[in-house]
Amino acid sequence: MVPLRSRAAASLLHLLPRGRITRALGRFTEARIPRPVLRPVLDLYSRAYDVALDEAVVPEGGFRSFNEFFTRQLRPGIHTVDPDPATVVSPADGRLDDSGPVSADRRFTVKGQSYDAATLLDDPAAARAYEGGHYFIVYLSPRDYHRVHSPVAGRVREVRHIPGDLFPVNEMGVRTVPGLFARNERVVVHVDTELGPAAVVFVGAFVVGKITLTIEAPPRPELGGRSAVRAFEGDARPTLEKGDELGAFQLGSTVVVLLGPAAHGRWEAARGVDPTPVRVGDAVARARDGEAS
């Protein structure tokens, strides 16, 4: 049962001009603000959300905008990438919200809601590659490092930018907005790996309308329009190592990772779903020899 307060908040969100609010806040967070003004605000934010600023690379003189703070880099050595070639690692710092199998009809369940991979990816043909595979979801809160890294080693086949809404992806949004992850704007990076196909899905959110990639991406499509696609072929296909930086969110959001059936066996969870923070490079799934479960 969803609490009454959450249902009321969700009803209010349906009435708000979410796109316009998000774009306006995006322009504000990118604006240069005098450092003597910005610094105490960021200090207050960091204390309120328990941001680990001691891990961050802080520019000389301090951050110049909210966005520079949100997309801050971390010092070398903060993340350790699991070296086992059979593992898939967390693409982000955050919370492992869910993990499990993708059914033979390409469906998976997140907090009681059923999702269709074809709708999430906006590509029924591509979704067939994930039948009988595995998925996991990492939620990035406002306190977390907002850069996203590749969970796998492989070569990028396609990037697809899918227009959509911008509902919150926090606990309230996940439980009260039907099909949330497949309704919000998202960017999908398809990667071919030794373990099988993988899709890394950046899900946009309320006040998180900007998603950037380190590889060439298609232009952002108009709301209500068709998805924009950038396909790569031959030597032009970007190569990713596990743990390579792949992109960033302007603020916290969610990453969904879909894995096709393990090429030489079956997938198993490398860690449980619990409130314990997960870090970039931590093993989340592992390919095991044997029949798929």
pLDDT tens, 79-137? 999 999 999 999 999 999 999 999 988 888 887 788 999 999 999 999 999 999 999 99
Contact present, 232 and 157 (Cβ < 8 Å): yes
What residues pair up with 208 in beta bridges, in sequence order? 205
Other Cβ atoms less than 10 A from the Cβ of 112: the count is: 7
274 counts as catalytic: no
190 included as an active-site residue = no
Q: Which two tokens stand for residue 27?
A: 């322009």
Interval 214-230 mean pLDDT: 87
| CA separation for the pair 18, 8 (Å, rounded) | 16
Q: Give the per-residue pLDDT at 222.
A: 77
pLDDT band at 250 (very low <50, low <70, confident <90, very high): confident
> Residues 79, 90, 93, 144: which is the catalytic one?
93
Distance CA 271, CA 258 (A): 16
Does the annotation count 149 as an active-site position? Answer: yes
Task: State the amino acid at position 77 in one-letter form.
Answer: G
Q: What is the pTM of this model?
A: 0.88
pLDDT tens per residue, range 150-204: 999 999 999 999 998 877 777 777 777 888 888 889 999 999 999 999 999 999 8
From the list 79, 134, 146, 149, the catalytic residue is 149
Q: How far is CA 63 from CA 17, 26, 27, 56, in A?
A: 30, 16, 16, 11
